[in-house]
Amino acid sequence: MHELEQNIDHILLTEEQIQSKVREIAEQISKDYTGKQLLLVGILKGSMPFMADLMRYLTINAKIDFMSVSSYGNGTVSSGQVRIILDLNKPIENYDLLIVEDILDSGATLSYIREWLSIRKPRSFKIATLLDKPARRKADIYADYSCFVIPDEFVVGYGLDYAEDYRNLPYIGVLKREVYEK
């Protein structure tokens, strides 16, 4: 048992549910990107487990790269301000970009990234997100591939953090409110 499991209210998505859905999405992406120049761009750090599983379930070739952005600080509500901490350092004109993100929440992060990268004219630009919380959307942005639509609760695990902890839980759980409300 994970040492922080006592802080989890309940499990929202089990390892098995996550794996089977990621595999299904990977099959769809493999079909859609056949004959294209797929470049997966993982948004660090939250997308790491999703990226690692997704790329291994693909049956087509894919190049990978990473960006790192920050918007959250240590709270559970987005600051709305996005900063690029690590950028792509190669031209992207010849690539079909698929951004790989842990969760689409207000949409501030991904709409900023979309603006930031579209200037460099990738061949195409799409978004794959593990989780989608449409209830909190503020920006006009949607996911092209989304594994799970979830209710407006703060979740951790499988890459998602609270104050940088819980990322290595193998499942996704709802964090007990008392953990962040005190």
Catalytic residue ranges? 105
> What's the CA gap between 25 and 13, in Å, rounded?
16
Q: Please, what's the b/e burial string for 120-145 (b: 16 or more CB within 10 A of its CB; e: otherwise)?
A: eebeebbbbbbbbbeeeeebebebeb
Q: Which stretch binds ligand IMP (CB under 6 A): 24-32, 90-98, 118-126, 151-159?
A: 151-159
Q: Does 30 bind ligand IMP (CB under 6 A)?
A: no
SS3 68: strand
The total of other beta-carbon atoms located within 10 Å of residue 13's CB is 19
Least distance to ligand IMP from the beta carbon of 61, Å? 27
Q: Which stretch binds Mg ion (CB under 5 A): 8-16, 68-76, 130-138, 140-148?
A: 68-76
| Minimum CB distance to ligand IMP smaller for 16 or for 152 | 152
| Minimum CB distance to ligand IMP smaller for 95 or for 154 | 154
Q: Does 104 bind ligand IMP (CB under 6 A)?
A: yes
In this structure, which long-range contacts are made by residues 31-36, counting pairs with CB atoms below 8 Å and at least 24 apart in sequence? 33/60, 33/62, 33/96, 33/98, 34/60, 36/96, 36/123, 36/124
Q: Does 160 bind ligand IMP (CB under 6 A)?
A: yes
Q: Which stretch binds Mg ion (CB under 5 A): 52-60, 66-74, 128-136, 140-148?
A: 66-74
Least distance to ligand IMP from the beta carbon of 36, Å? 25
> What's the CA gap between 115 and 118, in Å, rounded?
5
Strand ranges inside 53-135, DSSP E = 63-70, 83-86, 96-104, 124-132
Q: Does 7 bind ligand IMP (CB under 6 A)?
A: no
**Residues making contact with ligand IMP (CB under 6 A):** 46, 71-72, 78, 101-109, 154-156, 160-161
**Residues making contact with Mg ion (CB under 5 A):** 46, 72
